[in-house]
Amino acid sequence: MILSFLNVFLDIVIFIAVLVIIVGVATFFIIKDLQKEYKKVFRINSKFEIELRKLVNLLFKFYESPKLEPYNNVVIKQLPHEEKRNLLKFIDEVYETVEKEDEENKYIVETYQNLEELRRVRDSKVIVFNQKITYFPFNIYVKILKLETYNTFVDNK
């Protein structure tokens, strides 16, 4: 009787230990995956903000637009998302006035195209990241790691 009880108890302990190990390993891989995805989004977001700063400086230097003046000496990274959206609208407006065929504006055109490419890549990575963190079991670890969603610059229509 005691021997069968010990065998059952030992089986239960082994089962719980294996279950804890499986959960531990799964947690490790889930957290690593979340960190990898977060770093991808963070890197592309940083590149986007650098390119945005560069374009604001170029456009303001050559065209001195009053719309871009408030953004000339601010840290783009610290702006709220809505301000960045407004800034992108102002950049689009000023860029429309740029003579794209002029050789002097070649760098501005190239920088604008780089910004647009980074915006598309950034938004696609943000969408994938935001969707991923809503699924189980990622959503549990997102709350534990206190990760936040990113906003996109694509207009939701």
- Is residue 68 within 8 A of residue 59, CB to CB? The reply is yes
pLDDT for res 156: 56
Residues spanned by the domain of 94: 2-145
pTM of the model: 0.82
Domain presence at residue 156: no
Number of domains observed in the structure of the chain: 1
Domain presence at residue 38: yes
pLDDT for res 47: 96
**Mean pLDDT of the region 81-102:** 91
DSSP state of 134: T
Mean per-residue pLDDT of the chain = 90
Q: How many CA atoms lie within 13 A of 52 on its CB side?
A: 29
- Per residue in 33-51, pLDDT (tens digit) is 999 999 999 999 999 999 9
- Is residue 114 within 8 A of residue 91, CB to CB? The reply is no
pLDDT for res 100: 84
